[in-house]
């Protein structure tokens, strides 16, 4: 079974809200719709749910025009969970769920034992059967959301549409509901299309994502294809860092506060007369870039790989950085460029980096800064070098040699104060 949205345009009066929307979703797939407010996410669900008729294009389920289905046929194949699930009447939760059986009943026909069994199964599936006799007006937001999803499932649909199913819920219900949606696709074979505001939740649970902006699809594909810093900047106008979680390998998005960026840009615009160079990599320099820039210092950095978090942060903060190709060792040319940046610095900071043979030249750069260029060198150490040494002891030997030369060792939060003291001595 496949749901196809083919080149759909939709309007509210004379205002176009969807333009050329084109994608498909297969049986057993959870497709997340993401995008800024006003981008057309809810309108897209309304078009699929036949609440809003597209002006052009087609919506098909297994090749059949959705708009041409009779109401009962449509209601047996499509179910929707709206953004607002408020119910004003004191129906019991079970009564609300049984309303989902209406498409399967004849006129004036009452629910049978079979219908009640289906409702019970759906409530057990959504972990809300224990709420069956409770008035729905007395339920919490998360409990009510589970009941409304159970009502939708009681329709026994092929396609489930949800508009922000986790909004205003605590993290426990967010995880429960998103886990439920994933279960429904894997074990029940539903096609689920859900509007989701939380990009990290979307990455964790969705098979694919569609990113909308101004009624158009900016990007569609896997989380790794869609959740890029560039795409998020294009769609939301926000500066973010996108990383992979160390355990799950899923994308997670961290915003860069606009106040920090304004402050760092102002610092660079004012041409601060003191420069601190960070020998970093593996994310070890990111927080120090913020901290030092906020204090008005010019900051430079190197050598980092192009896909490294430190590289992303440096680019976002307009920090000059020496880079190397991903997964490549530091070359002589790159090393020379690194030394040139170090020559312009007042203080050099060797960050708490992991050291392998590929980036051992960063330790060498620290040695050059201290012994050949006469720079003040500061070492940041949160983990012992032995824990970060992947060179069979070579990095440890050279690192300890730097310490023996009287290099100051500090914690990250002490860097600004210690660096200022170092510059006062020079």
Each residue of 326-355: pLDDT tens digit? 888 999 999 999 999 999 999 999 999 999
Q: Name which CATH class applies to 258-425.
A: alpha beta
Q: How confident is the model at residue 271 (pLDDT cuts 50, 70, 90)?
A: very low
Q: What is the mean pLDDT of the chain?
A: 89
pTM: 0.71
Residues 179-196: tens digit of each pLDDT: 999 999 999 999 999 999
Fold for the domain defined by 2-255: Rossmann fold (3.40.50)
| Of 60-69, 204-213, 217-226, 256-265, the least confident | 256-265
pLDDT at residue 425 in the model: 58
pLDDT of residue 270 exceeding 50: no
Q: Select from 409, 405, 355 the least CA-distant residue to 379.
A: 409
> Span 289-313, mean pLDDT?
87
CA-based angle 262:266:270, to the nearest 5?
175
pLDDT at residue 391 is higher than 90: yes
Q: How much is the pLDDT for 93?
A: 94
Domains in the chain: boundaries = 2-255, 258-425
Mean pLDDT score, 300-308: 90
- Mean pLDDT is lowest, of 130-139, 166-175, 386-395, for 166-175
Element (H, E) at 217: strand 216-221
pLDDT of residue 416: 83
What pLDDT, in 10s, does the model give residues 103-113? 988 887 788 89
Report d(CA 48, CA 39) in Å as an integer.
16
pLDDT value at 386 more than 70: yes
What's the rounded Cα separation, in Å, for the pair 313 and 328? 20
The confidence band for 86, taking pLDDT boundaries of 50, 70 and 90, is confident
- Locate 38 and state its tokens: 């006003």
Distance CA 154, CA 110 (A): 15
Give per-residue pLDDT as tens, 19-55: 999 999 999 999 999 999 999 999 999 999 999 999 9
DSSP state of 329: P
Contact partners, residue 213, CB within 8 Å, separation at least 6: 35, 36, 39, 234, 235
Q: What is the pLDDT of residues 114-161, one digit of tens each?
A: 999 999 999 999 999 999 999 999 999 889 999 999 999 999 999 999
């Amino acid at each position: 079974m496949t749901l196809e949205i083919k080149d759909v345009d939709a309007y509210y009066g004379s205002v176009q809200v969807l333009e050329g929307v084109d994608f498909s979703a297969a049986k057993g797939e959870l497709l997340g719709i993401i995008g800024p407010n006003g981008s057309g996410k809810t309108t897209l669900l309304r078009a699929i749910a036949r609440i809003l008729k597209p002006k052009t294009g087609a919506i098909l389920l297994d090749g059949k025009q959705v708009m041409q289905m009779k109401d009962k046929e449509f209601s047996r194949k499509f179910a929707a969970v709206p953004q607002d699930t408020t119910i004003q009447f004191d129906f019991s939760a079970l009564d609300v769920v049984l309303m989902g059986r209406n498409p399967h009943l004849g006129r004036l026909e009452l629910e049978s034992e079979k219908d009640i069994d289906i409702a019970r199964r759906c409530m057990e599936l959504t972990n809300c059967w224990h709420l069956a006799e409770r008035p729905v007006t007395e339920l919490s937001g998360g409990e009510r959301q589970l009941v409304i999803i159970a009502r939708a499932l009681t329709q026994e649909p092929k396609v489930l549409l949800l508009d922000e199913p986790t909004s205003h819920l605590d993290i426990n219900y967010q995880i429960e509901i998103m886990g439920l949606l994933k279960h429904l696709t894997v074990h029940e074979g539903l096609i689920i299309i859900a509007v989701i505001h939380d990009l990290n939740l979307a990455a964790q649970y969705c098979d694919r994502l569609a990113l909308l902006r101004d009624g158009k699809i900016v990007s569609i594909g896997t989380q790794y294809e869609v959740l890029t810093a560039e795409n998020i900047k294009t769609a939301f106008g926000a500066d973010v860092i996108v990383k992979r979680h160390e355990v799950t390998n899923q994308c997670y998005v961290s915003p860069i506060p606009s106040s920090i960026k304004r402050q760092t840009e102002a610092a660079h615009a004012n041409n601060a007369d003191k420069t601190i160079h960070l020998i970093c990599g593996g994310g070890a320099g990111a927080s120090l870039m913020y901290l030092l820039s906020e204090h008005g210092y010019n900051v430079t950095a190197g050598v980092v790989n192009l896909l490294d978090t430190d590289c992303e942060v440096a680019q976002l903060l307009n920090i000059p950085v020496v880079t190397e190709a991903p997964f490549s060792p530091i070359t002589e040319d790159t090393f020379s460029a690194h030394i040139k940046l170090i020559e312009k610095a007042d203080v050099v900071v060797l960050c708490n980096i992991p050291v392998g043979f590929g980036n051992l030249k960063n330790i060498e750069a620290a040695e050059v800064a201290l012994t050949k260029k006469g720079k003040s060198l500061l070492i940041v150490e949160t983990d012992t070098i032995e824990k970060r040494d992947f060179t069979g002891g070579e990095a440890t030997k050279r690192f300890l040699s730097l310490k023996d030369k009287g290099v100051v060792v500090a914690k990250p939060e002490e860097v600004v104060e210690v660096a200022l003291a170092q510059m006062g001595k020079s």
